[in-house]
Amino acid sequence: MNHIPLPQAPALAHIEIPLYESDSNPYRYTQPWWSYPARHGFGFITKQVSDELHKYPGDLRSNLAAFIQSWLFFGVLEEFLGVKQDRDEWIVTTEKGDRVIRTSHLCEKLDAWQTRVKQLDGNQQLEIRAGIDQVLGHVDSMHETLSGTTVDILQTLQTRIGSYHSDLLPDELNLSLDVLHYTLSLARNAVFLDTPLSIRTYTKSRLVHDQLAKNGWCPSEVSRLNQACSVVSGYFSSRLGGLGSSTIHSKCSHWQCEAWQVDESNYRTKHANTLCDCTFVGLPTERIAEIIRGSQIPCLRLDRHGNGLELVAIDQSAPIRFTAISHVWSDGLGNHAANALPHCQVRLIQERVNTIANLGSKPLAPSDNQPFWMDTLCIPVGSGFEAERNTAIAEMKTIYRNSGTVLVLNNELSGISVDRSPWELSARITRTTWFRRLWTLHEAVLAKKIVFQLQDGSVDLSELQTIVQGWDNSSKLQDLLCRLIFREACQPYSKLLLFKSKSLSTRVQDIWTAVQWRNTSYQEDETICLANMLGHDLSSILAVSRYESEAKIKRMQAFIVLQKYFPQGSIFEGDNSDLTRPSPTALVGFEWTPQSFVFRTRMRTLEQPDTHLALADELGFHVSLVALIPDKGWNVFTQAQMRSTLVGDLHQAFFMVPLEWDYFYSVCWNMDRGRWDLVNSLRDETFPALILQQDVTLVTDEALDLDESGGRRDGSSLTRMFDGDLIAEEAREEVLQEMKREARGETVEEVYTPYERRIFSASTSVIIVAASARDVSPDTRNLTDSLQYKHPRGKSSNPNVAVEYQARIIQHVEVKKEMFSTYTQAAHRVSAELGYGLVRRWHCQGGK
C-alpha cells in the first residue's frame, strides 16, 4: 500500500498489511504458477464456487490467508516482474514487533521492468504480455471467487450499489490483493498501449468504506465513489482524514443524502465566526425589486468606508464587470427573512471578490470594490415580491453567464491550503456538499469560469487539469498513480464540464447522468434548475406556486411538455428508486414521468449518451422499442408459479422466441410492486407485452464470437464464461500458446474440448405493459424511427397508416436470456424475421 501517495497532513497513515504466516507451512512461493495450489494442498480452491469456500472452517482460515498471500501476492509479483523475489525485501518489523508488508519500492521495480521490456524485440514482448495477461486474468477471477458469496449478490440486488468482500479472507489481505492487481495492470497498460487490459473500477474494500464513513462521508457519496473510482483512488480518499461529523449522515442511505437540507422554519444565518455578533447589512427589498422590474441586474458592493452596501444596477446589454457567488445554503449564508447578511460575512465576501478581480487583466483601483451578485442579497424575499422573485430566478442564466467569474464558497474548504498537490485538491474539492446540490450544478453549467475559495487563495480545477495533462507523456508508475487519482477524483467536475460543453438541444441526452447524486431541499425547485440548464423559458413552471398542492408533480408535467423530447431510455429509469418512481397520482399520459431526475444510482457514462430522443406530450411518451409478446396473453402472468429467490418470493415465467431454439427467456416479478390492479380492469381490451431496453434477441453466442452483437449498452449485461477450472492441467500450455498466437495477430480456430462448458446469458431492463393498438395518422410517424410495425395478431387494414401501441406500464422488471446448457458450440441461428414476436413502436402512458 505504501507505493500509493498520501495526502498532506492532516491525513491518515497507510494501512498496515500483516504478513500472514502458518506454523505448519511457511508457504514460500515457487514456480510453476499453475501447480502451486495443488503442491500445497489447496488445489480444491480452483474448483469450488464462492459459497462453498465460504464454509471453510474458521480455525483453518489463517492457513488459507498465508497460502493466498504467498500465491496471489508474492507469486504474482514474481510472475509479473519475471525475476525471483526475495520475500524479506518486502517485509519489515514495526516498533510493536509486527511483521508487515511494505511496497514503498514497488514503483521503482515496475519502472525498471518497463525499461527492460521496452528493450526487447516484438516477439519477446508478445510472449511476456501473453504470460502476464493470463496470470492477471486468473488472479482477478480467483480473488473474485474467494471474496464473493451469494450474500453479496443479494446486497447488490437490493441496493444496486455493489458489495463488500466476504470475510473468508482478512480485510487487509483483500485490500492488498486488489491494490496490487490494479497497480500491476496499470504498469502493464503503460507498456502495451495498443492492447490495454480492462481493469475493474470499483472499490469493494470494507476497510476503505468503513474509514470513509468514519471520516464523515455520506453513504451515498461512498456509493458514488464505489461506482466511479478504482481501489487506488478509493484508498487515497480514505486517507484524507476527518471531513466532518459522521452523525450528520445518520439518516442517509446508499442512494440518497438527507443531510444539508434547509428547513425554513429553523434556519439560522451564521456569522464568520461563532464569537461575532455584528449587525446585519443589506438594502431595502423594494429597491432591489425596482431594478429587476427595469430588466437590470441588481449587484452589491461595500461602500468606500466599508460600513454599508451600495446597490449597483447593471445593464444586461452592456454589463459592468461583476462576480457571482455560488454557495450551499446549509453553510449559513442564506436568509429567508430579508436581503441581508452579517457585516462580517459581507466584508469577507468582498475581500475575496476583490482578490479574484485583481488576478485578472484589469486590476481594481485601490479604493474600488468589485460588485458582486448573491442570491441571498439580490433575489427579493418576503410577501409582495413573488413576481420579481420569479423574474430574478428566470434571469439567473443571464446573471451567471454575464459574470466574469463565479466564486464558490464552501465551509468544507475553508481550512485547506492552496499549496497541496493537484490530486489532493481535486479529491477534497469534489467531495464537498457543493458537488451534491442541484442548484450549484445549475449555477456551474451557466457560468463562464468557476473558482473555489480555499483558506489562503482560490483554485480553478480547469487549470489544474491543464497542469496534470502535461504529465501525460510520463510512464513512471508514481506519475501514473497520481494522474489516476487526479482524473478519478475530478470526475464530478469533468462530468459537469462535459455536460456544459453540449449544445442546448443535445444536453437532454445526458440529463440523467448530469444530475446524478445531486439533491435539493425543495423538490419543487428541481424543474427550475433543469429548465434553465436546457435553455427554456421558466414561465409555465413558475406559474405553479411552490406552495400549491402537488406542486412538484405539476411542475414536472409542465417541464415535460416544455422540453418535449427526452432520451428514449428515460422510460426505464422510473423504477430506479422510490424517489424516481412515477407518482401514483400523475395524470394519464404522465404516468411514465419520474418524480425526480436526481437520485439515479445506476452508472452510465456521458461518453455513451442515449442519443435516441422520443416525443413526450399530454398523450404519453412515444418510443420506438422492441417488445416480446407472450402467445398465451395475460395467462402467462396470472397463472405463473411462485419461486423463492434471493430477494424473496417472486412469480416467474419462461418462454421462447420462434427460430431461437438454442435460447430461452425468463422473467420474475413481484405482484405487490407493480400496477397489477390495472390488469383486472384492462384485461379484456389489452394484451401483455415486455418492452426491452436492449434488443437481446440480437445477442447470441455466435454474435459474441463474431463481434456482431452491436455493442453492449448500459441497459443490458452480457456474460459468456467457461468452466476453465475443468480444463485439464496439460491443456493450459495449449491455451497459453493460443493467446500468444492471438497477440501476434494470427488466426486461431476456436475448438471446444469435452472439458469446456460454454455458459451464455444476456439480460436487460424490461417494462411489462398492458397494450392495445391504435391507428395514427401518417403525420405522426416521423416522431419515431421508420420501422416495420406489426400487430401481434394482424397488421393494420390501411397500409398507409402506422400502428402505434398504446401501453399502460404495469411493472419494471428484468428479462434474462440464456442458452440451453451444452458442451458443444450452439447451432447457428437461422436468419429470419421474428414475425409477431416483435413490436417496435409504443405510446406509453405509464404506470407505477
Mean per-residue pLDDT, 708-719? 44
Cis peptide before 32 (omega within 30 of 0): yes
Q: Would you state the pLDDT for residue 534? A: 95
pLDDT, residue 570, reads: 87
Reading across the β-sheet that carries 323-327, which strands appear in turn?
309-315, 296-302, 372-373, 323-327, 405-409, 450-453, 458-459
List pLDDT tens digits, range 752-789: 444 344 567 888 889 999 998 755 444 443 333 322 23
Helix (H, G, I), strand (E, B) or coil at 234: helix
Residue 263: predicted pLDDT: 87
Mean pLDDT of 221-234: 89
Spatial distance between the Cα atoms of 336 and 323, rounded to a whole number of angstroms? 22
Name the residue with higher pLDDT: 536 or 759: 536
- How far apart, in whole angstroms, are the C-alpha atoms of residue 57 and residue 388? 71
- Look at residue 845 and give its three-state secondary structure: strand
Alpha-carbon distance values, 4 to 83, 176, 332, 607 (Å): 23, 12, 37, 28
Identify the weakest region by mean pLDDT among 286-300, 549-563, 565-579. Answer: 565-579
Q: Which has the minimum average pLDDT: 82-96, 590-604, 608-622, 726-740? A: 726-740
Grid coordinates belonging to 559: 417541464
- CA pair distance 288, 310, nearest whole angstrom: 11
Res 467: pLDDT:
84
**Which of the two residues, 531 and 696, has the higher pLDDT score?**
531
CA–CA separation, 15 and 6 (whole Å):
11
Average model confidence (pLDDT) for the chain?
81
How much is the pLDDT for 52?
Answer: 55
pLDDT of residue 469: 81
DSSP sequence for 10-31: S-PPPPPEEPP--SS------S
Query: Which DSSP string do the residues of 522-539 spell out, in sequence order?
Result: -GGGHHHHHHHHTT---H
Single-letter residue type at 804: E
pLDDT exceeds 90 at position 248: no
> pLDDT band at 581, cuts 50/70/90?
low
Q: What residue ranges in 399-478 does DSSP mark as E strands?
A: 405-409, 450-453, 458-459
Model pLDDT, residue 645: 62
Q: Which pairing describes strands 405-409 and 372-373: parallel, antiparallel, or unpaired?
A: unpaired
Most confident of 364-373, 378-387, 568-577, 706-715: 378-387
pTM here is: 0.83
Instruction: Summarize pLDDT for 508-525 with one digit per residue, the tens.
Output: 988 888 888 888 888 899
Higher-confidence position of 568 and 824: 568
Q: What is the DSSP string of 280-345?
A: EEE--HHHHHHHHHTTEEEEEEE-TTSSSEEEEEEESSSPPP-EEEEE-GGGTT--SS-SEEEHHH
Question: What count of Cα atoms within 13 Å lies in the side-chain half-sphere of residue 345?
Answer: 27
For residue 673, give the C-alpha cell.
410492486
165 has pLDDT over 60: yes
Q: Is the pLDDT of residue 836 over 60?
A: no
What would the mean pLDDT of 297-326 be, rounded to a whole number?
Answer: 89
Percent of the chain residues past pLDDT 70, beyond the cut: 77
Residue 699 sits at the vertex; the CA angle it makes with 695 and 705, to the nearest 5 degrees, is: 155
Range in 43-57, 325-339, 796-810 with the lowest mean pLDDT = 43-57
Going through 656-781 in order, the beta strands assigned E by DSSP cover: 663-669, 687-692, 716-722, 758-775
Output the pLDDT for position 783: 35
Predicted confidence (pLDDT) at residue 177 exceeds the cutoff of 90: yes
Task: Judge whether 314 and 371 are in contact, CB under 8 Å.
Answer: yes
CA atoms within 13 A on the CB side of 741: 11
Predicted pLDDT at 544:
94
Range with the poorest average pLDDT among 27-41, 196-210, 597-611: 597-611
Q: How far apart are CA 651 and CA 668, in angstroms?
A: 5
pLDDT confidence of residue 843: 56
Mean pLDDT for the stretch of residues 26-46: 85
* Mean pLDDT (whole number) for 230-235: 94
* Model confidence pLDDT, tens digit, residues 592-623: 888 888 866 565 544 455 678 899 998 899 99
Q: Which amino acid is at 634?
A: W
Determine how many CB atoms are found less than 10 A away from the CB of residue 107.
21
Residue 379 banded pLDDT, cuts 50, 70, 90: very high
pLDDT digits (tens, 9 = 90+) for 414-465: 989 999 999 999 999 999 999 999 999 999 999 999 999 999 999 999 999 8
312-321, 374-383, 496-505, 707-716: which has the highest mean pLDDT? 374-383
Give the other-Cβ count within 10 Å of 213's Cβ.
Answer: 16
pLDDT of residue 757: 46
Main-chain phi, psi angles of 645, to 5 degrees: -130, 180
> Does the bond joining 10 to the residue before it have cis omega, within 30 degrees of 0?
yes
Count of Cβ atoms closer than 10 Å to residue 816 Cβ:
18
Residue 157 reports pLDDT greater than 80: no
Q: Per-residue pLDDT averaged across 174-182, rounded?
A: 94
Phi, psi of 831 (to 5 degrees): -75, 115
Please list the residues that pair with 815 across neighbouring strands.
667, 764
Whether the pLDDT of residue 466 is over 70: the answer is: yes
- Nearest residue to 557 (alpha-carbon basis) of 534, 588, 514: 588
Q: What is the pLDDT of residue 821?
A: 65
Higher pLDDT, 794 or 219: 219
- Grid cell in block for residue 238: 480514505
